Amino acid sequence: MADFRAVIFDVDGVLVDSPHELAWREALAELLTGEWAGLRECTSWTPEGFTAQVYRQVVSGRPRLDGARAALEFFGVPDAARRAVEYADRKQELLLRSIDERRFSAYDDGVRFVAVVKAAGSAVAAASSSRNAGRLLAAIPAGDGSLLESFDADLSGREVAHGKPAPDLFLAAAAELGVPPERCVVVEDAVSGIAAAKAGGMWALGVARFDDAAELEAAGADLVVTSLDEVDVDAFTAGRLARRGSV
């Protein structure tokens, strides 16, 4: 049994079906068919090759520059460390345009789960590696305000010494909420995020929205669900992570 006193939410993939993935994909396509066209033959990149699986395994959950460099290295783009800055900037331009045009949606089960755990007495924090997560959350209605207003703390994009899979961001969220790490539950959809939660001594609730439950379990998740509606709220209130209907 545990006494869950705080829930720390990743945003992209947990609460929001955000435009990050599309922005990374389109930015690289623009560069390798435009300014970097001369490099294309040196790479393994194809328009179809930047799949959702590549995004989740290589980019998701990382700080922006780390994600840019990792994607360029994955596709064999020369001088990846230097070119990562230009790639990250192009991705950011496309992302902000998508947010302004509201080309994203919230996961209803995620919005409901935030309300449920708050009603159960847990403090809640948003802790995404993305500096744009707060902007996304502010655009989502919840109750009488926005989803962003539901959180007791928002550390999205906070500068930390080490990004995920290091636990720095989640530990900072726990400290800001005034809750010991062992009393925190992290809700994540990325392997790097699950690893970060466990490295910080926290409970990890994995959300497998893309048929990747096995990967999240292998990373150490204490419970993996495909929808947060599957979480047994009574068990959660009692200090257990369990799926509805389980013994």
pLDDT value of residue 27? 98
60, two tokens: 């998701």
Choose, from 3, 10, 154, 232, the residue flagged as catalytic.
10
pLDDT value of residue 1? 56
Which candidate, 217, 214, 213, 221, places its Cα nearest to that of 186? 221
229 catalytically annotated: no
10 catalytically annotated: yes
Choose, from 3, 12, 212, 222, the residue flagged as catalytic.
12
Task: Divide the 247 residues of the chain into consecutive groups of 10 and give the mean pLDDT of each group.
Answer: 90 90 96 97 96 89 90 98 97 92 91 95 94 90 92 94 94 98 96 96 96 95 98 94 85
DSSP assignment of 121-187, as one string?
A: T-EEEE--S-TTHHHHHHTSEETTEESGGG-SEE-TT---SS-TTSSHHHHHHHHHHT--GGGEEEE
* β-bridge pairing 105-106 and 16-17: antiparallel
* Domains identified in the chain and CATH numbers: 6-17+105-237 (3.40.50.1000), 20-100 (1.10.150)
